[in-house]
Structure 1
Amino acid sequence: MDLTPSAEQEALITATADWCADNMPLEQARQRPIALWQELEAMGWTAMTAPDMGLDHATEAVVFAELGRHLAPVGLVPSAVAARWSPHAGKAALALLDGSLEGGMLRVFDPHGAVQALGLAGHLAATTELPRDLDGGPSLDPTASLARLDPAPPFEAIADPRAALHLQLLAAAFALGCADAARDMAAAYAKVREQFERPIGWFQAIKHICADMAVRCAVARSQLYYAACALDAGADDAAFHIASAKLLADQAALENGRANIQVHGGIGMTDEAYPHLCLKRAHLLTFIAPARRDILLGDAA
């Protein structure tokens, strides 16, 4: 299995990175333009996973990792899954459901303009319609608003188990991108922040932190690419590889987020600095289709 991105995939990564740098700078992460979602739709990212597009999961993974590196709206993940597996068109918010298909509390992230919410109910992906005027307030992740519905409206499960795997794969890609963002931020700061008339990156302790961050990203990226290819190939162990990718990507995002704040020192956790955004996004992503213990240990039926 060749895990090297193709020339077409490399071109997509470059185009995505260039557009995101111009239109989703990190300094706007807390207050992004209202028209951003329409611009994302115009670029095709909200519907790139639709069946008629014919795009494989490996290409989706590399593009979503780049979107995650710029802390793109978290609603892109459920919207992409809904575009492939749900008959309903339009934006899908991220659903975190307490309980089964009915009852419990529903937490809806990035609800503005969404016509439905998508998340996991048990081991299957499921959708529910949302009120048209639903809007949210502050959440754990400052880049994603949160609305609560209690009790939760009834959900409709997507019978195909690949929908849940797709959700987990794209969430892992977003987590990898988050880890990449923290790594890049720490390395850039280590080059310009000086102590004892030297950039702090000159000191071995900082070098080791940044090197560990790079290794975490490389390991998580390799597993993500393999998992995406396994899903494309319809491999029997695709669920195991996707769960492994999610676990490694979540760990990389969390540990790199903490290390990034450590490299920045005291300012890293302040509101005017950006390192804390990566860590908070990493924490939110851990709640999206987390890796199941029974699958990782080979106990799933």
Structure 2
Amino acid sequence: MFLAPDGDEVAIASAAAEFLADAMPIDRLHGADGGDMGAPLRQSLGEMGWFALALPENQGGSGLSAVEHVLFFREVGRQCGPVDVLAQSLAAMVATDDTMRAAILSGEAGVALAVNDGAGLRLLGSPDATYALHVSREQARLLSITDIVAPARPALDPATSMRVAEGAAQAPVAETTGEHVWRMGELGAAAMLVGIAEAALDLIVDYAKVRETFGRKIGAYQAVRHPCADMALRAEAARCQLWYAAAAIKEERGDAAVHLDAAKHLANQAAIANADTNIQLHGGIGVTDEHHAHLMLKHALVLGKLFGSKRTLLGRLVNSKVED
């Protein structure tokens, strides 16, 4: 990759797009129980090796890089894929036991993402998860949650179920120190957000080509064209910074963390703004439950809070320096 995917990287992105459009289409979120990554979908992803893309070969992975990681999760984002797809991939990087890692990679054992919630943990992901992954910049811990009482809570995002476990602190079954897992999580979340920004743009562009008012396609009006151009600009800026951050991590640049924070910030902005504009430009149909538009906005709002929110990212970037 030289600032843009090429060769085998394009082939991986195309394969991921085709597979996910069939196995995990955004249409599933209009069903009663279509949002979670249940065992069948998890095992299907595992069989294809998607959880193991950036894992070293000596640990049962594909031995690829951060570049392939973002290409896959960008396509996950376009389908509003659940957060635990990312948690599953990261958990394989934390597992130290070969049997545990194999169960995670195959999808036999599910992994939810754990975030702090007062004295307890908020678990994002499928209710049948065996483990929960708690990640900070300094360390990543894999917790067993089979014996934890965690009642379900209403979730803003239909793509990701939520439970709250009070007093869930316990000894981890596996842990690792350093920033690697956090960086791959931040990179994956940024890629999913870029995917949402692009999907929102595609949705309104397609609609503007067929919807007519006063005898003309709405895409002929500046009031629609100009916001679409702004959406394209935001998506392009976020996508380019994402490619650069992935390449910086792959090449182990000293300023990779700076480029990654910039990528996540631009992705947060692009996804939320594009999803919101998409709803506005669709008019009345854009606010209906049957349409995809609201799903993208809700998913973007959740992902925007994971692995770096606006205040945290800007606080880190304000005093950061990049290499020449």
Is the shorter-chain TM-score for this pair beyond 0.5, marking a shared fold? yes
Aligned twin of 1:108: 123
What pairs with 1:21-170 in structure 2 (closer than 5 Å)?
21-30=21-30, 31-32=33-34, 34=38, 35-52=40-57, 53-87=62-96, 88-89=100-101, 90=104, 91-98=110-117, 104-121=119-136, 123-131=138-146, 136=152, 138-154=154-170, 156=172, 158-170=176-188
| Residue 294 of structure 1: how far off its partner (Å) | 3.8
Instruction: Provide Cα deviations, 1:182-233, integer angstroms capped at 9, x if missing partner.
Output: 1111111111211111111111111111111111111111111111111112
Instruction: Provide Cα deviations, 1:229-257, integer angstroms capped at 9, x if missing partner.
Output: 11112111111111111000011010001
Q: For residues 113 and 132 of structure 1, what CA distance do their matches in structure 2 show?
A: 12
State the TM-score, normalizing by the size of structure 2.
0.85
**Secondary structure in structure 1 of the residue aligned to 2:52:** coil
Q: Given residue 154 of structure 1, which amino acid in structure 2 is its aligned partner?
A: Q
| Residue 161 of structure 1: how far off its partner (Å) | 1.4
Q: Given residue 254 of structure 2, which amino acid in structure 1 is its aligned partner?
A: D
What are structure 2's unaligned runs of at least 5 residues? 105-109
Q: For residues 147 and 50 of structure 2, what CA distance do their matches in structure 1 show?
A: 23
Aligned twin of 2:307: 289
Aligned-CA RMSD value = 2.2
Q: How many residues align?
A: 296
Moved more, 60-69 or 251-260: 60-69
Q: For residues 58 and 180 of structure 1, what CA distance do their matches in structure 2 show?
A: 18
Q: Tell me if structure 2 keeps the 8 A contact 1:111–1:136.
A: no
Q: 1:231 to 1:85 in 2, by over 3 A?
A: farther
Instruction: Provide Cα deviations, 1:48-84, integer angstroms capped at 9, x if missing partner.
Output: 2322121110111112111211112211111111212
**Secondary structure in structure 2 of the residue aligned to 1:95:** strand
Residue 266, structure 1, aligned to residue 302, structure 2: no
Instruction: Provide Cα deviations, 1:10-64, integer angstroms capped at 9, x if missing partner.
Output: 1111111112222222221244384222222222212223221211101111121
**Equivalent pairs: percent with the same residue?**
38
Q: 1:243 to 1:155 in 2, by over 3 A?
A: farther
| Residue 135 of structure 1: how far off its partner (Å) | 7.4
Q: Tell me if structure 2 keeps the 8 A contact 1:78–1:119.
A: no
What are structure 1's unaligned runs of at least 5 residues? none
Q: For residues 16 and 38 of structure 1, what CA distance do their matches in structure 2 show?
A: 15
Aligned twin of 2:296: 278
